[in-house]
A = this chain, B = another copy of it.
Amino acid sequence: MRPYILISNDDGYQAAGLQYLIKTLRNVADLLVLAPDGPRSGYSCAITTKNPFTFHRVSHEEGLEVYACSGSPVDCVKLAFNILLPRLGRRPDLVVSGINHGDNSSVNTFYSGTMGVVTEGTFQGVPSIGFSLCDMASNADFSACGPYILRIVEKVLREGMPPLTCLNVNFPRTDGTYGCSMDCNPATECGEVSAKSHEKDPYRGIKICRMAHSNWVEEVEECRRPGSGSPYYWLTGRVNELELEAEDTDRWALYHGYVAITPQTLDSTAYNLLNAWREDPELCR
């Protein structure tokens, strides 16, 4: 029997990245797509608690059903596992999210609705992978991602994932310079590399990475309303690289043309501090 894969994302079911993912994975698996009915970027692991949500079937054909949901990315996964999959009588072998339009490495992981899907899939007990392309351009080119997606998906289908562990996969952009999302300095600014021509495979291979330490700066911009002049605020900004030279990080891999696989754990206990604080008699008296 063919593998069965649940696909969702945070850009909505019509997004080019999701359509490319469908095209790629149809060759190897039956697919259930349950994705937001529009953009939900920056939704993180948000859940809809104050309102109900709905979903409807968009299309169905042999081996591919597509549903759209009014909720958040995590709502989509909860809806799939609690309502839709039981009705269909199947349990997925894998949850795949993306391909996101934009970088989800390092600090961006935390704000990412793409990775919200992956977190939720993991809590549902199914191996889960998020794919993101570090290019927010409307004509972003996903075409080089396919072989890497298949290689990674087939490995996870074959080997599974340890409990509470998932994968965050980011592809560098291929528009002539490697790099992360449009908020980042392109790799050429590192003075090291420029992209290979895009004839065949523009990527240099895969790196298994840790999350780089970075943060966002210049994040909020004030605007003024015409007429009243009252202020309002937009999120904006750029990633501030805090360890750009560290070759074992996702950011380094991306800037240098590698597909970055960051294995992530959902046990976020800080064991070092746990052990230190346990020895404080004053605190735990």
Contact B79 A273 (CB under 8 A): no
Q: How many copies does the complex hold?
A: 2
Contact A123 B50 (CB under 8 A): no
Which of B74, B222, B235 is within 8 Å of A49, CB to CB? B235
A42 beta carbon closer than 8 Å to chain B: yes
Contact A46 B46 (CB under 8 A): yes
Q: Which of A13-21, A88-96, A204-212 contacts B (4 or more CB under 8 A)?
A: A204-212
Across the interface, which residues of B come within 8 angstroms of A280, CB to CB?
155
Q: In whole angstroms, what is the CA distance A137 to B285 when docked?
A: 29
Q: Which A residues, 201 to 235, have Cβ-Cβ distances below 8 Å to chain B?
A: 205-211, 213, 215-216, 218-220, 222-223, 230-235
Contact with B along A81-123 (1 / 0, CB 8 A): 1110000000000000000000000010111000010010001
Q: Which A residues, 234 to 274, have Cβ-Cβ distances below 8 Å to chain B?
A: 234-235, 237, 261-274
Across the interface, which residues of B come within 8 angstroms of A267, CB to CB?
210-211, 213
Across the interface, which residues of B come within 8 angstroms of A161, CB to CB?
273
Contact A83 B222 (CB under 8 A): yes
Across the interface, which residues of B come within 8 angstroms of A107, CB to CB?
123
Contact B206 A283 (CB under 8 A): yes
Q: Which of A58-66, A162-170, A173-181, A188-196 contacts B (4 or more CB under 8 A)?
A: A162-170
Contact A42 B46 (CB under 8 A): yes
| Other A-B pairs, 4, CB within 8 Å; known A46-B46, A78-B219, A79-B233 | A165-B272, A261-B277, A263-B273, A264-B269
| Residue positions of A touching B, CB distance < 8 A | 39, 41-50, 52-55, 71, 74-75, 78-79, 81-83, 107, 109-111, 116, 119, 123-125, 151-152, 155, 161-166, 205-211, 213, 215-216, 218-220, 222-223, 230-235, 237, 261-274, 277-278, 280, 282-285
